[in-house]
Structure 1
Amino acid sequence: MKSTSLKEILVVAFFIGLPFTYLGSIYESLPTIIPTHFNYKGEADKTGEKSTLIVVSIFMSFVSIFTYLIVKNANKIDPKKTSQSPELLQKIAFLIIVFLSAILLVIIQSATTGSMKSNQFLMPLIGLLFAGLGNFMHSIKPNYFIGLRLSWTLEDPENWRKTHQISSKLWMIGGIVIAVCSPFMPFAAGFIFSMIVLLVMIVYPILYSYRLFKKSKA
């Protein structure tokens, strides 16, 4: 095994194992019944056994590993065979692993407080994820796994390129705005604000790409 491969495995294992380490350190001190779901105000609206955290942690770890492998090996399984930069795929895969690990830590920490209100990291984390993805969007070539995979962007390389250029800028700006502004708002306000910004970040590029598609057919 190459040293780079070993390093990669160790880094992935570290981020996958971090939430389990944290959960193990506090598990005995947790009450038997903990909050397992929160509404948009950050208030617990569902409870369950604390063992639920173990199940959630295992499930999210499988999701993280599966997503990591799909993104990292996109060149091998993508029907378009567009040969994405391996370094680019590696960075995106690591970003997703780190994000999901951080989200799991937030979930575990919120179970200890009984409320999501006291946790001001959730929306900034989502903002940073989109900002990070935005940093890579302009470099992604047409494929069926990563990016805005619409029928008209997949069929037209120029449409894909222009759409992902505008998405790259919009996601970086929008993600940073969410990360910077949401911590200073009450949880409910920060959540609603972030959802509105995310909606604009996602819908505008879709409408933009569709307009390019209609213009090309005129």
Structure 2
Amino acid sequence: MRKYVFSFLFIALSFVISLIALPYMPDQMAMHWNINGEADQFWNKSYAVFFGPLLMIVMLSLFVLLPKVDPKKENYKKFSGSYNIFVNMFIVFFFLLHIVTIGYNLGLDLDISLVVIIAVGLFFIILGNYMPRIKHNYFMGIRTPWTLANEKTWTKTHQLGGKMFVLAGVCMMLISFLPGLYKFIGLLIIIIFTLLISTISSYIYFNRYK
């Protein structure tokens, strides 16, 4: 578990921040925002303020469990460094979302949609750089019937997928400054295009290497 010390520290810090912020939170905390960045769902502060840290604990537990139950568990040893970086990066991502949520409910003037899309774009860029290192498995990466059926297809698809994710991340960061509706449409187009290219390429590679 020492490889996840970084994640544990951020989870512990998120709990400390929640405890400190709790007395200053409104009774009903904003927890969801529409495409225009306007809060449209509110939760009681007694559990809303701890939702982020608890979610991080659940996610980290899943990430620790997955390599133990995956039929391709031996392959995780081949990209353990990249996997650990991904896990820690994922926890940091949710930590940042938690901080932004706390800040918004403290009254800071934050454009939530701008912050979230920039964070997601940065997440895609980092993930794209590590994606070619991900070895054949059933839980992480571009999982289509064709990548799961053929390791060569998996490798070629993730080499292309890595570039696609980096490009998608850059595009997300660029559209984050657009008005709400255009930002939402742009995000959908980027995600759908990335998924389509990744899926179609895996089918093409499968037929080439089968």
Instruction: Compute the TM-score of the two structures, normalised by the length of structure 1.
Output: 0.82
CA distance in 2, matches of 1:103, 1:58: 10
Q: Which residue of 2 aligns with 1:164?
A: 158
Alignment of 1:53 with 2:45, yes or no, is: no
5+ residue gaps, structure 1, are: none
Alignment of 1:153 with 2:147, yes or no, is: yes
Q: Kindly tell me: are residues 88 and 117 of structure 1, through their superposed partners in 2, closer, same or farther at Cα, counting changes over 3 Å?
A: closer
Q: Which residue of 1 aligns with 2:177?
A: 184
CA distance in 2, matches of 1:187, 1:25: 32
**Deviation of 1:190 (Å):** 2.7
Alignment of 1:62-81 (within 5 A): 62-70=57-65, 74=67, 76-80=68-72, 81=74
Q: What is the identity, as a one-letter code, of the residue corresponding to 1:52?
A: Y
**Deviation of 1:216 (Å):** 5.7
Q: Kindly tell me: are residues 64 and 116 of structure 1, through their superposed partners in 2, closer, same or farther at Cα, counting changes over 3 Å?
A: farther
Percent sequence identity over aligned pairs: 27
CA distance in 2, matches of 1:109, 1:192: 27
Q: What is the identity, as a one-letter code, of the residue corresponding to 1:61?
A: M
Q: What is the identity, as a one-letter code, of the residue corresponding to 1:207?
A: I
- The SS at the match of 1:37 is strand
Instruction: Compute the TM-score of the two structures, normalised by the length of structure 2.
Output: 0.84
Q: Which residue of 2 aligns with 1:204?
A: 197
Q: What is the identity, as a one-letter code, of the residue corresponding to 1:137?
A: M
Deviates more, 1:28-37 or 1:199-208: 28-37
**Deviation of 1:64 (Å):** 3.0
Is the 8 Å Cα contact of residues 14 and 53 (structure 2) preserved in structure 1? no
Is the 8 Å Cα contact of residues 11 and 57 (structure 2) preserved in structure 1? no
Q: What is the identity, as a one-letter code, of the residue corresponding to 1:79?
A: P
CA distance in 1, matches of 2:158, 2:119: 22
Is the 8 Å Cα contact of residues 99 and 125 (structure 1) preserved in structure 2? yes
Is the 8 Å Cα contact of residues 142 and 160 (structure 1) preserved in structure 2? yes
Alignment of 1:16-55 (within 5 A): 16-55=11-50
**Deviation of 1:178 (Å):** 1.5
Q: Which residue of 2 aligns with 1:91?
A: 85
CA distance in 2, matches of 1:59, 1:44: 22
CA distance in 1, matches of 2:178, 2:15: 30
Q: Kindly tell me: are residues 171 and 9 of structure 1, through their superposed partners in 2, closer, same or farther at Cα, counting changes over 3 Å?
A: closer
**Deviation of 1:155 (Å):** 1.1
Q: Kindly tell me: are residues 190 and 112 of structure 1, through their superposed partners in 2, closer, same or farther at Cα, counting changes over 3 Å?
A: farther
Alignment of 1:14 with 2:9, yes or no, is: yes
Q: What is the identity, as a one-letter code, of the residue corresponding to 1:170?
A: M
**Deviation of 1:175 (Å):** 0.8
- The SS at the match of 2:133 is coil
Deviates more, 1:112-121 or 1:191-200: 112-121
Length, aligned pairs only: 208
Q: Which residue of 2 aligns with 1:213?
A: 206
5+ residue gaps, structure 2, are: none
Alignment RMSD: 2.6
Q: What is the identity, as a one-letter code, of the residue corresponding to 2:186?
A: F
Q: Kindly tell me: are residues 90 and 168 of structure 1, through their superposed partners in 2, closer, same or farther at Cα, counting changes over 3 Å?
A: same
- The SS at the match of 1:121 is helix
